[in-house]
Every structure is written in structure tokens, then in C-alpha cells.
Chains A and B, each alone.
Chain A
Amino acid sequence: MHELSIAQSLLGIVLDEAQRHGVNKVTKVVVRIGALAGVVPSSLSFSFDLIKEGTKAAEAELVIEQEPAQGVCHACGAEIDMSSLVDQCPSCTSKDIEFLGGQELFVDHIEAE
């Protein structure tokens, strides 16, 4: 995906929240990224570090919490963590799997002084 434009959107939200709450220095940004969101965490960190300079988030630490992608096997009913969209059920090896989520990109919370 496009980590730099995602980082720009992220920074926009962080600075908007900082302004709304009247804080001058953001110290931490915590985001939740689904395992199947197509985002490479190291690329996102790299891009965020590039663009945060000179803003209220210049010294903010970016914490990326990866959420596993979930699926359910229609053959045996097992709920499974999915690392790719074409997984086999680990219990019964069926490929009849319904994908339940794991593509989210969320700003959970920020910490500020």
C-alpha cells in the first residue's frame, strides 16, 4: 500500500486531535493495523518519522499494534487467525473459510504533554 500517504493521513489526525485538546507536544501515537491491511509497519514508521519533523508530533513515538486477521472455517466451525487470504483451516485443512476482518487502520489513542 502507500505508507507515505497513510503516514500523512495519520499525522493529520494526530495534529487535529492535538489542536482539539489544546496540547502542544505529542509524545506517543498508538495505531492498530490489521494483519491484512497491506501495510508494512517498518515502512509506516519510516514515513511517519520523515514527516513529523517540525510539528507538534516531532518527538512522538509511533507504536504499531498489529491485529491478527480472523476467519471462520465453514467445514468444522473453527475460528482461526489468518495470515493470508488463501489459508487452509489448521484443524481440518478445508479451504472453505469465511474472512471476518483484519484490514483495519486505526488511530487508537495518543499521549501528550
Chain B
Amino acid sequence: MAEIEVGRSILEANEKLAEQHRERFVASGVKVLNLISSPGAGKTSVLEQTLGRLRGRLSCAVIEGDVQTDEDAQRVAACGVPAVQIETRGACHLDGPMIGQALAVLDLDSLDLLIIENVGNLVCPVDFDLGEDMKVAVLSVAEGDDKPSKYPALFQQAGVLLVNKVDLLPYIDCDLERIHRTSAQLNPTQKAFDISCRTGEGLDEWIDWLVGWVKG
């Protein structure tokens, strides 16, 4: 009987690919965000509002992840930004190999910022490193102020929290302070912005921070 030392990470294949993607991004000088939220929190609306305000300031592209349809890539393309749609056809998250396929059709050297919009899901995308610089969590006030507590992994890893649909606050029961307090406990260095993609509230502060982060 032989005992064989192994010492290998079970997810080494995805980790290796994520590191390769990361090295490519660094070599091309492009900053990368991984946008994660539940379905309907407003990721694509955030993209539309963000990309419109970044025109002329940063060169951007988007990788869109959905189970089905290319509707989101079309919405982004209408903003004048290159968008690559990945239809996972059942997979609940994007992973390294899918990103690799999308990168084959993007000119990374021409970009300042690449935003990956993940499949709508507060759980699975968190566990799959795509080579990004930062995860951005989007949570709408209509989803409940208990979500950072219920889904701590995302909020612990997200460098930025966008609390969306704040224009709805007068019409729903949402303890905004609880969202910020519980999320900040999980990640004390997290930047948080209260925004409304509908009214434009808070978007200027988010954009100013984003431009500073990309160029910094």
C-alpha cells in the first residue's frame, strides 16, 4: 500500500484559468469588474446608466452572462459599447472557460474597463473566479434588507455595493441602514453607493469613484 502526497486544490483547473485571464488583463492594462446580483436587481440598467456616462471618458466593453437570450447584450450594444453575450443554457454562473471564449473576440488592448455581467444569482457566481479585479454587488431595496445577512459570501467579497431603486423607498418597507451596517460588517473596506437608475440619483458619485478607480 502506497501513500501518495497530493496537496492540490480541487478547483485548480478554474483557478489556473482565472489566473491566466488575470495576467492577460494586466498585460493589456484593462481593469475588470464582475457584476453580481439576483435576477432583477438592476445589473443591466446599472450598465446602461454607467456606460452612457463613461462615453468619452473610458473605453469599455461588456461580457454578458444569461441562461438564455441575448437581450442584455443588445441593450448594452445600443449604448455604443462592444458586448459579447454568453448564453449558458442552464449553467447558473459564468466560469473561466466561458470567459476565455468571450475574450477571443474582444480587443483588450483598446480597453480601459471590461465589465462582466454575471448570471442573475446571489450564490453560485461568488465561488467562480473569472480573473476580475473586483466584484460589484447590486442589491435593490425591493429585495429586502436581510439579504447581506442571508448571502454573506457575496457581500464579504464585493469591493463595491450598489443599492439600487432607492426611488422606491417611500413605497416599501426597507431598512436601508440595516443593509449598509450588515454589509459593512462583512467587508469594512467596501464602498457603497445608493442609486436609482430610474431617477439618476447617486449615479454621479458612483461614476466619479469608478473613473478614479480605473485610472488610479
Identify which of B4, B9, B11, B182 contacts A17 (C-beta below 8 A): B4
Residue-by-residue, is A74-113 near B (CB-CB < 8 Å gives 1, otherwise 0)? 0000000000111000000001100100001111111111
B89 at the interface (CB under 8 A from A): no
Question: Interface residues of A toward B: which range?
Answer: 20 to 34
B2 at the interface (CB under 8 A from A): yes
Would you list 20 pairs from A and B whose C-beta atoms are within 8 A, ordered by A residue? Answer: A9-B11, A9-B13, A10-B10, A12-B13, A13-B10, A36-B153, A38-B127, A84-B152, A95-B185, A96-B185, A99-B156, A106-B10, A109-B4, A109-B5, A110-B3, A111-B1, A111-B2, A111-B3, A112-B2, A112-B4
What does DSSP make chain A's interface, helix, strand, loop or mixed?
Answer: mixed
Evaluate contact between B124 and A1: CB separation under 8 angstroms: yes
Evaluate contact between B6 and A108: CB separation under 8 angstroms: yes
B186 at the interface (CB under 8 A from A): yes
- Which residue of B has the minimal Cβ distance to A39? B10
A residues apposed to B, CB below 8 Å:
1-2, 6, 9-10, 12-13, 17, 21, 23, 27, 31, 36, 38, 84-86, 95-96, 99, 104-113
The A-contacting residues of B in range 147-163, CB under 8 angstroms, are 149, 152-153, 156
- Which residue of A has the minimal Cβ distance to B152? A85
Query: How far apart sit A84 and B149, CA to CA, in the bound complex (Å)?
Result: 10
- Which residue of A has the minimal Cβ distance to B155? A85
Evaluate contact between A112 and B1: CB separation under 8 angstroms: yes
Identify which of A1, A23, A38 contacts B2 (C-beta below 8 A): A23
Evaluate contact between A107 and B6: CB separation under 8 angstroms: yes
Evaluate contact between B4 and A107: CB separation under 8 angstroms: no
- Which residue of B has the minimal Cβ distance to A20? B4
* Top 8 closest pairs, chain A to chain B, by CB: A85-B152, A105-B10, A107-B6, A107-B8, A110-B4, A10-B10, A109-B5, A9-B10
- Which residue of B has the minimal Cβ distance to A97? B185
A residues less than 8 Å from B9 (CB atoms): 104-107
A residues less than 8 Å from B127 (CB atoms): 1, 38
Query: How far apart sit A84 and B185, CA to CA, in the bound complex (Å)?
Result: 13
- Which residue of A has the minimal Cβ distance to B126? A38
B7 at the interface (CB under 8 A from A): yes
Query: How far apart sit A31 and B182, CA to CA, in the bound complex (Å)?
Result: 33
Query: How far apart sit A111 and B6, CA to CA, in the bound complex (Å)?
Result: 10
